Amino acid sequence: MLKKCLKSVLFWLIFLPAFYTLSGFIILPWWAQTKLPILLQEKLGLSISIEKVLFNPFTFELHVNNLALHDTKGSSVISLEHLYVNYEPTSLFKKEFFIKSLLLDKPFVDLKIDTNGNLALLNIFPKSSSDDNTTTHDNSLAMPFIIEHVEIQNAQSTFTDERPSIPFKFDIGPINYTVNNLSFYKDDLSIHALKVMFQSEEKISIASSASFEPLKFYGELNIVHLPLSSFWKYVLPTIPITLTQGELSLRVPFSIDLSKEKPLVSLEKASASLDSVRLVDNENKTVIEVPSFNLETIDFDLQTSNTSIEKATITKPFVDLQLEKDYTLNLVRLFTPKSASTQAKIQSSAKQETNSTWKFALKTLEVKEATVDVRDQNVKSTPAHFAPLKLTAQNITQDMNNPITYDFNSTLDTTATLNFKGTFIPSTASLDIAVNANKLSLEKAQPYIALYTTTLIQDGALSLNSKIKASFDQQTTFKIEGDATVSKFSLADKFKNSLVAWETLNFSNFSYTLSPATLSIQSVALDKPYINLDIKKDGTTNFSNLLKTSSTPSKTPSNTKKTSTTKNETMSLYIGNIILKRGTTHFKDASLLLPFATFADRLNGSMSTLDTKNTKPSVLKLEGKVDKYGYAKIDGSILPFDFKNRATLKILFKNIDMPSLSPYTGKFIGYAIKEGKLSMDLNYKIKKGLMEGANKINLDSLTLGDKIESKDAPNLPLGLAIAILKDSKGQIDLDLPVSGDLNDPEFRYGSIVWKAIGNLIGSIATSPFKLLGSILGIETENLKSIDFAAGEYALIDSEEEKMVQYQQILEKRSELNLIITPSFNEALDTKALQEQNVTAQIEAITPKKSKEDDSYGKAIKKLFLQKYSNDDYNKLLKSYKDENLDIGAINDNLISKIAENTTIVPAALQSLALKRADVIVQNLTTKYKIAPNRLIKNEPQASDAIREEWVGCTISVRN
């Protein structure tokens, strides 16, 4: 029995170890290799293939080669080249599950998403027909679980997404992961090390320690130059812009505690950087390029919902900023998702972030050595080039009421400089800016003014030192104050001919407020201004048609909101003082018969305060040089914003060279000017639109030139007027009053002046002696003629006074000549000559020493009977006696009757007229010493009788 028992014990002592050995080395590997896949397929629906399994039952080491899990289509989803497990069974005595080492060599996971959005990894499990999820699982461990060493070597993974039009594929690996002391004991720490490689370089690494009871993690995540371009279009497929290159680097020290009711997650002094970033548009043109973007000292605390960044630095970025045809920024378009739904999600997300309680603070944002090109595609222009550009912003937080301070500096187009410094409050969109700009080129504005005008800005620079306060909240407010200077400005027409230019235009201490609209400038200084005015042949000027007229009428939006008031506010304007120095102007007029050109320079002037709220007149002063030696000066007192209501002007021109005015005199008076100087003292007073002017004009040595045919020139005796007006020293002094109504739409100052001049010359033509008398201070009312008795040519004593006055006129007006017209009156002189003829005959036939009674009467009777009959004589004599006429009256009547029948030939009348003229000439030359060449006789002509008694020889003057 004992023997039998011993045999039985021996059997089992031999059998059990043998069976254990056989089972461990052969049966278990065979079962795991052949039966386990079938069992898993039947029970769990898992498709597993195992190439080889080795197990050492004595060392408890397990080797599994080429393990693979397949999806329902038979494709390998997870594979493992080699699995090694070293289990320590003696730990069971300590009531723990202890694995000394766990090694996975070359594992592979295929992360593939098909066109339907299904992850292939999930297809290793068959779909469950039951939706009952009420089964509960006890996840508590029966005994502590410990793995002393875990190592995953050369792991690989491929992520593929077939949903995009171009499937996305990304290979990850090799991945190496090491864990030491993976324990589930309380407060036991395990050491973890993860290294992930991309493109044969280590890109991601994690060094950490963790405990599972409580569940805590401590460590540091490092990402080194992770390429982002491969993920861009997959992660952001609806964003039009494309990232062609860019690398992400991170250093994230982290602490995670999941043992509390509220997880504790914090990052301390983390850092991040983006390097070599390049974003392009759909034409592969670089839009944004960032060589370096660094975030320093990033702190994050989940419990307090707080994120802070000590400093963000962007170094040498480039941005191509364009305003596109629809007046949107290219960056807005390029970063706006194409899908409306995506936009809605972004907006929704933004709203959630806005309403969250997260706290964020970026203490300093610094952009260094940036380059920004700005182009407006709506106009033809070269881009504005900002480089180098520097921006520093501080105190950027989630609090929209927190002011952000900033300092912006840049060079624009290599010459101009810009500096903006101030604060910004996001909640009210409030800006407080100190602006310092130097040498900003005004030529950059040319493409924009070209939309409205044909003028060309050829040069000009703006410098500005000001402060701006603005708010764009519910009610827009804006105020700017400071100093501004526009220098080296030049404006030309489309043919590049200069219109306006100046050296400097300075606005000192200006202030502009939007509401109420107010502009205040303490002083304006304009140095070396230039104006070029050119009148064309058709009467238009080079300032005509400078504005473009739009063929498209402006559209008024139908949904425009009506304002509470329709009355436009008038801007309040105050200008303390205006000073002009060294001005120059050129003037050309090709509309005249002769082209005209002149210039004025050394123009200096000033105007005192202009104030729309004050009725005090402004004082105007201006003086300068005209042509080579001329001088001009203007003094005035005006209401600049109500000029028609009140103005007083005193305009002085001196020593203006008159030959240069020949184009105008040729057009308006028909003569060129050969010689002469012009001076004018013009005084005007304007009140309530009515102008009264007193013009004192002096012409020195005025000499007319050639006659010029002009349809605008009136037929006036200009030469005579000059000869009359010019004194012995060659001076012509005129008082020329003018007046007019400025409220009359037909009012033209030039027309009024030329009308006054025309009236003056016209009065000279009609009454030259009247004007001469007023000029010389002599009585000239009767100088129009020298009177003679009928039939006589002897000077009477009363005419001697006139001779003296003729002498004075010719002495004081050296250019005048006296015109003597031999005159006769046919009726008066014929009758007188007839009577003189009868008297002569009577005297001829009357004996000189006759003793006969009444020899004179007998002579009369004899002549009467030669003309008439004896009966006629007797009848006429009887009628005279009946009238009781004495003998003298009877003889006179008989002589008159005889004279009626006496013939006087016309030559006798002309001879009488010539004798009268000769008497006048002889008297003036001999007695009054008048040069004969200044006395000109006209042809004889008939004239009217003076008071039916005298015959006047007409006297006039001419040059």
Q: Tens digit of pLDDT for each residue in 813-852? A: 888 888 999 999 988 888 888 888 888 788 778 776 655 5
pLDDT tens per residue across span 619-669: 888 888 888 778 888 888 888 777 777 888 888 888 888 787 777 777 777
Q: Answer whether 69's CB lies under 8 Å from 48's CB.
A: yes
CATH architecture group of domain 785-860+905-958: 2-Layer Sandwich (3.30)
Q: Answer whether 636's CB lies under 8 Å from 648's CB.
A: yes
Residue 933: DSSP 8-state:
G
- In this predicted structure, what is the pLDDT of residue 313? 95
Mean of pLDDT values over 444-465: 90
- In this predicted structure, what is the pLDDT of residue 557? 44
- In this predicted structure, what is the pLDDT of residue 760? 64
- Taking each helix axis from N to C end, the angle separating 855-867 and 870-882, rounded to the nearest 10 degrees, works out to 130
Of 425, 371, 368, nearest to 392 by C-alpha is 368
Q: How confident is the model at residue 565 (pLDDT cuts 50, 70, 90)?
A: very low
Burial of 829 (0-12, 13-18, 19+ CB in 10 A): buried
Q: Answer whether 703's CB lies under 8 Å from 676's CB.
A: yes
Q: How confident is the model at residue 781 (pLDDT cuts 50, 70, 90)?
A: low
Q: Answer whether 593's CB lies under 8 Å from 537's CB.
A: no
Q: Answer whether 119's CB lies under 8 Å from 157's CB.
A: no
pLDDT tens per residue across span 324-345: 887 888 888 888 887 644 444 4
- In this predicted structure, what is the pLDDT of residue 307? 92
Q: Answer whether 191's CB lies under 8 Å from 180's CB.
A: yes
Q: How confident is the model at residue 62 (pLDDT cuts 50, 70, 90)?
A: confident
pLDDT tens per residue across span 382-396: 888 999 999 999 999
**Which residue's structure tokens are 């694995």?**
99
**Percent of the chain scoring above 70 in pLDDT:** 86
Residue 247, pLDDT above cutoff 80: yes
Q: Which span out of 160-164, 202-206, 367-371, 592-596 was modeled with the highest average pLDDT?
A: 367-371
Token representation of residue 43:
């029970």
Residue 920 main-chain phi, psi, to 5 deg: -65, -45
- In this predicted structure, what is the pLDDT of residue 79? 87
- Taking each helix axis from N to C end, the angle separating 887-900 and 870-882, rounded to the nearest 10 degrees, works out to 140
In the three-class reduction of DSSP (H, G, I as helix; E, B as strand; rest coil), residue 251 is classed as: strand
Mean of pLDDT values over 79-90: 85
Q: How confident is the model at residue 877 (pLDDT cuts 50, 70, 90)?
A: confident
Residue 130: DSSP 8-state:
-
Residue of 802 and 96 predicted with greater confidence: 802
Distance CA 681, CA 655 (A): 12
Of 956, 959, 930, nearest to 768 by C-alpha is 956
Distance CA 250, CA 271 (A): 6
Token representation of residue 894:
């008989």
Peptide bond into 768 cis (omega under 30): no
Please state the domain extents for the chain: 50-124+143-213, 214-339+357-398, 592-766, 785-860+905-958
Q: Answer whether 405's CB lies under 8 Å from 420's CB.
A: no
Mean of pLDDT values over 489-499: 90
Residue 592, pLDDT above cutoff 70: no
Q: How confident is the model at residue 747 (pLDDT cuts 50, 70, 90)?
A: low
**Which residue's structure tokens are 């003018």?**
738
Residue 279, pLDDT above cutoff 50: yes
Residue of 627 and 132 predicted with greater confidence: 627
Token representation of residue 143:
């005994």
**Percent of the chain scoring above 90 in pLDDT:** 21
- In this predicted structure, what is the pLDDT of residue 290? 94
pLDDT tens per residue across span 735-746: 778 777 777 776
- In this predicted structure, what is the pLDDT of residue 525? 94
Token representation of residue 698:
């002096």
Of 459, 505, 469, 458, nearest to 484 by C-alpha is 505
- In this predicted structure, what is the pLDDT of residue 947? 75
End-to-end CA distance of the chain: 184
What is the average pLDDT score of the chain? Answer: 81
Residue 197, pLDDT above cutoff 90: no
Partners of residue 409 on adjacent β-strands: 390, 419
Distance CA 957, CA 952 (A): 16
Token representation of residue 534:
């050119």
Three-state secondary structure along 307-368? Answer: EEEEEEEEECCEEEEEECCCCCEHHHHHCCCCCHHHHHHHHHHHHHHHHCCCEEEEEEEEEE
Residue 292 main-chain phi, psi, to 5 deg: -155, 130
Q: How confident is the model at residue 562 (pLDDT cuts 50, 70, 90)?
A: very low
Q: Answer whether 235's CB lies under 8 Å from 228's CB.
A: no
- In this predicted structure, what is the pLDDT of residue 200? 76
CA dihedral sign, ordered 774, 777, 779, 784: negative
Of 587, 500, 599, nearest to 535 by C-alpha is 587
Q: Answer whether 364's CB lies under 8 Å from 392's CB.
A: yes
Residue 428: DSSP 8-state:
G
Out of 364-378, 425-439, 638-652, least confident range: 638-652
Residue 115, pLDDT above cutoff 70: yes
Residue of 935 and 892 predicted with greater confidence: 935
